[in-house]
Amino acid sequence: MTAAFDIVLPMFALMLCGYGAARSRLFGADAVKGIANFVFFFAIPALLFRGISRAAVAGDAEFAIVFAYFAGCLLLFAASMAVGRLAFGLALREQAVMGFTATFSNTVLLGIPLIYAAFGEAGLLPVTLITSFHSIILLTLATLIIELGAGAGRHLLRAVPQMLAALLRNPLLLAILAGFIARGFGWQMPAVLDRATSLFAAAAAPCSLFALGATLAGFRISGDPAQSAVLVIAKMVVHPLIVWALATQIFALSPIQVAVATILAALPSGANAFILAERYGVYVERTATAILVTTALSIVTAALLVAHYAPPR
């Protein structure tokens, strides 16, 4: 357990530094955006490309984690929408944001650094496979339901192609695709390029965690406490339990796949949930509260899961 906290606490210390820098205005909005852009366009893509291109080929079995993880996400998404309608009388658009917040983990800024710190390069391929489908499946689903709930069938044909085009220009997805191509052809990076990407990759964890903490400085606890509590329980308890059950009992994943899938499911809600809610002007305060609370709780849950799954050091 001490080893797990040795992994997790320094990561959350970096987040706290980012939070303090933003709250004290030492880092303004432009500075935070600059760090986040560096992470999104350079550091994380370099880390993902290196992890995939250097991974050993494991055959079709490596993709089973995608089916196990997203089957759990879709089950919880539907259940969250049902709770939102039956227990709270939410409209369809609010149900969609509730389901998205309950299932969309912070895989990029927190998940990738955490998995890499706990499992090294062995964890990069499974975390990358989940990350590559994360937005495509969950963000597309949530957007479709929101547009339908707005009675905007007339906007649906326009919204979905635009969103898919944006996803295809996503540097993370492009890095993942390039990594698989390089691995498939057995391409070895020249020494200079290998060194350059390794420097970018080394900056991924500290910069992403600092940027995440700085981003959270703009969130506040507000809105309906009962609905926020349901979101927190769904994200931090129900989501990992469903994914763990599917990974172990239905799909029979390998130990490293079970560990990565369960840990990612237990991560806090990602900031994209707030962005989606704010974009459509629905469920904003409850989503922001869920993100802030789940991130705080993940200090403990991440340490417990890393202690259970990570190899001894």
Q: Which range is least confidently modeled, 103-107, 122-126, 160-164, 202-206?
A: 160-164
270-295 average pLDDT score:
92
CATH number at residue 260: 1.20.1530.20
Q: Of the candidates 110, 302, 120, which has an alpha carbon nearest to the alpha carbon of residue 210?
A: 110
The confidence score (pLDDT) of residue 280 equals: 86
The confidence score (pLDDT) of residue 156 equals: 57
Exposure string of 51-81, with b = 16+ CB inside 10 Å and e = fewer, is: bbbbbeeeeeebebbbebbbbbbbbbbebbb
Q: Is the pLDDT of residue 68 over 80?
A: yes
Band (143; pLDDT cuts 50, 70, 90): confident
95-112 average pLDDT score:
95
**C-alpha pair distances (Å), 271 with each of 217, 234, 248, 253, 284:** 12, 17, 29, 29, 11
In which region does residue 184 sit, left (phi positive, over 0), alpha (psi from -120 to 50) or beta (all else)?
alpha
User: Position of tokens 């709780």?
Assistant: 297
Which tokens in the block code for residue 209? Answer: 């965690």
3-state SS, one letter per residue, for 225-266: HHHHHHHHHHHHHHHHHHHHHHHHHHCCCCHHHHHHHHHHHC
5-26 average pLDDT score:
90
Higher pLDDT residue, 55 or 250?
Answer: 250
**Strand, coil or helix: 217:** coil
Which tokens in the block code for residue 261? Answer: 């899938």
Q: Which range is least confidently modeled, 152-161, 176-185, 223-232?
A: 152-161
The confidence score (pLDDT) of residue 153 equals: 52
Number of domains composing the chain: 1
Residue 96's CB is within 10 A of a number of other CB atoms, namely 30
Q: Is the pLDDT of residue 51 over 60?
A: yes
Higher pLDDT residue, 169 or 289?
Answer: 289
Q: Please state the φ and ψ torsions of residue 269, each to the nearest 5 degrees.
A: -60, 140
The confidence score (pLDDT) of residue 218 equals: 85
The confidence score (pLDDT) of residue 159 equals: 61
Question: Is 51 within 8 Å of 246 (Cβ atoms)?
Answer: no
**Strand, coil or helix: 269:** strand
Distance of alpha carbon 282 from alpha carbon 79, whole angstroms? 19
Which tokens in the block code for residue 108? Answer: 């990029």
Q: Which range is least confidently modeled, 109-118, 133-142, 151-160, 171-180?
A: 151-160
Query: pLDDT for 259-271, tens place per residue?
Result: 999 999 999 999 8
Domain encompassing residue 16: 2-309
The confidence score (pLDDT) of residue 167 equals: 64
